[in-house]
Structure 1
């Protein structure tokens, strides 16, 4: 059985509802969706999915504990809830245990924009399938200043194989116990130093895929230039038609609201008039089932960049205990 996976807790409730609604519209009501619990805070989600028979929360505690222990052994600092906002992000790895033989993982801050048939079809030939341009910036995956990096992976692989962990297709069972133990032995022998420190599970997943040498495929590198599309809200040139985005005439597979923080989304959904890229599209899917609850903005529009800068400053000040 094939299915869609995501990772969420109540903090990203609004993004999750938008994602589920986009899946319902674009992919249909029958495709199963498994939500991996980021942490224990999932009561709001549980109440919502009672009305969504194709959606369920992953409850295999043995699997969850298995990957918690793996992350603890691979990168123990990442589980520090006080230090890392993405302390539970590794639980997406539970998808490699089940429940789907083939799956597509989507971050909660994504929206489906097109059929995923091409991704599932590609999984007949490849073990890992992505569609993004992260390979253009290895600094968000690996510690490029580490002399060990090019001892582990040659430069061509570093510049061509890395990916964003917000959207990928893969298969059940590709990281069995022997593979996990082998990966941990390499990491604990010193290779952990090549991982970028500033992101949750993304560097580790890249390492896992590349170190095992599995057959991976990136549509963004393989499609002809006149067919490939972007996927990130940082691209400002997408055109919307019938609640779907296009890139120079080509329909996007998905859109990733990367960098738009959950707190900002909550504030917008509460009625605060803050700009962010492709906001109307997000709000359409967020309130698709309850349009009467969609916020009506009465205040002047606030710049997303200004709000983000203020939030960053406040976080820095809090860390310095100045405010």
Structure 2
């Protein structure tokens, strides 16, 4: 069985991707990591991550193009702000039997691939408090309540930046069927804050994945993960939530730049393999990058 991690990136997010991979490799030198290109501008980030951390290119570029084309056919041009974000859906048809998907605006604080052990009890897991802190915001509109999903199902909404599943749980044709259903019912979704894939991914999971788990709920009771939470304690560049070590930190909706929450922690992981002075010289030549 092949286990590993997928990321989606292009050259624009290279600094975030380096920080993420530096943190992953600090705790796990061997886990397989595959880069799914966000668009055609990915050669620099791939070469850099391959040299530093043996990150491999997602091997089925034909699948990515087919999926991107089908998404473009299914959805109107004004439906999705960034249709290429839907490329992460290719993970169910890739080379890994069990996988994590991780956004590049994240750093981790443990051997994160060990969370895949939870797939012995579910087909999909996430690890965030979106359901309690945000509710349906940035996912669904109120029209889905009862008419589409029960209150119990809606307690399983999640942030789309960190989650795990396994190959073969859904077929490519079933995926397109669900996407067509989404395209016919824009009124189901909350796109008011500019999110793209998160509402559609939530719809897919609630519709097609019966065995779901959120690791912040019992029995795991994992801590929070959002960089907008100001109470986390930094102990030698590992964060703790009221004494409990975080699995990861996610700058969801927050630009990672000087002055951002936990910037010193992000800078630490970004500069693990080069002097911080070299990073700052490089950063001064860049347009500020966003998560």
Query: If the length of structure 1 is used for normalisation, what is the TM-score?
Result: 0.79
What's the CA shift for 1:70?
4.0
Q: What is residue 285 of structure 2 aligned with on the other side?
A: none
CA shift in 2, pair 1:47/1:184, >3 Å: closer
Q: What is residue 17 of structure 1 aligned with on the other side?
A: 18
Is 1:90 the equivalent of 2:86? yes
SS at match of 1:88: helix
Task: Choose which of 174, 181, 185 in structure 2 pairs with 1:186.
Answer: 181
Determine if contact 2:122/2:213 at 8 Å carries over to the other structure: yes
Task: Choose which of 213, 225, 244 in structure 2 pairs with 1:217.
Answer: 213
SS at match of 2:77: helix
Q: What is residue 265 of structure 2 aligned with on the other side?
A: 281
Q: What is residue 109 of structure 1 aligned with on the other side?
A: 105
- Unpaired runs of 5+ in structure 2? 282-287
What's the CA shift for 1:98?
1.1
SS at match of 1:222: coil
SS at match of 1:138: coil
SS at match of 1:196: coil
SS at match of 2:89: helix
Q: How does 1:284-295 map to 2 (within 5 A)?
A: 284-291=268-275, 292-295=277-280
Highest Rg: 1 or 2? 1
CA shift in 2, pair 1:16/1:184, >3 Å: closer
Aligned length: 277
Q: Distance in 2 between matches of 1:286 and 1:76?
A: 38
Is 1:252 the equivalent of 2:246? yes
- Unpaired runs of 5+ in structure 1? 269-273, 297-306, 312-323
Determine if contact 2:125/2:165 at 8 Å carries over to the other structure: yes
Q: Distance in 1 between matches of 2:121 and 2:50?
A: 36
CA shift in 2, pair 1:185/1:287, >3 Å: closer
Determine if contact 1:98/1:172 at 8 Å carries over to the other structure: yes
What's the CA shift for 1:7?
0.8
